[in-house]
C-alpha cells in the first residue's frame, strides 16, 4: 500500500458510483463483489480479521467471477512482491481494478 497520490478523499475509491443499485436479494452476510474486490487487497496482505476472511471466503464460494479475480490477484501479488518489494504502482492497481470491474459487468449482463 503506497501513500495516496490522489488529493481527494482516500476513503472513496475513484470512479466508484455511490450506490450501484439493482442488486439486492443477497443471502444474509453476503459481501458484495465490489466490497470483496476491495477487501481482496487486504485479504492477500493478511491484514483482515478472521471474521472478514470468512466473509470473503463465503463470497468466493458463491461467486465465480470473484474466484477468478482472487486467483488472478494472488498471482499478480507474487509478481509485484518479487519485483517491486514494497511499492505497488497506483497505475497497476487501477488497471487491475478496471479489468475486474469489466469482468463483473460482463457477468452481470
How far apart are alpha carbons 25 and 93 in whole angstroms? 30
In whole angstroms, the minimum distance from the beta carbon of 105 to Zn ion comes to 12
Distances (CA, A) of 101 to 35, 46, 49, 52: 12, 23, 25, 21
How far apart are alpha carbons 94 and 13 in whole angstroms? 10
Nearer to Zn ion, 6 or 75 (CB): 75
Nearer to Zn ion, 63 or 97 (CB): 63
Nearer to Zn ion, 72 or 90 (CB): 72
In whole angstroms, the minimum distance from the beta carbon of 70 to Zn ion comes to 9
In whole angstroms, the minimum distance from the beta carbon of 49 to Zn ion comes to 20
Rounded-to-10 torsion of CA 22, 52, 87, 4: 60
Name the site residues for Zn ion (rule: CB under 5 A). Answer: 33, 63, 66
DSSP state of 12: S
Nearer to Zn ion, 53 or 90 (CB): 53
In whole angstroms, the minimum distance from the beta carbon of 37 to Zn ion comes to 7
Amino acid at each position: 500500500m503506497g501513500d495516496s497520490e490522489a488529493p481527494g478523499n482516500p476513503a472513496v475509491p475513484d470512479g466508484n458510483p455511490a450506490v450501484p443499485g439493482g442488486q439486492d436479494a443477497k443471502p444474509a452476510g453476503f459481501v458484495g463483489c465490489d466490497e470483496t474486490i476491495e477487501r481482496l487487497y487486504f485479504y492477500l496482505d493478511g491484514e483482515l480479521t478472521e471474521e472478514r476472511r470468512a466473509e470473503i471466503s463465503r463470497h468466493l464460494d458463491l461467486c465465480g467471477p470473484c474466484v477468478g479475480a482472487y486467483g488472478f490477484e494472488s498471482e499478480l501479488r507474487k509478481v509485484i512482491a518479487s519485483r517491486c518489494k514494497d511499492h505497488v504502482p497506483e497505475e497497476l492497481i487501477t488497471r487491475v481494478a478496471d479489468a475486474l470491474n469489466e469482468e463483473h459487468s460482463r457477468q452481470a449482463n
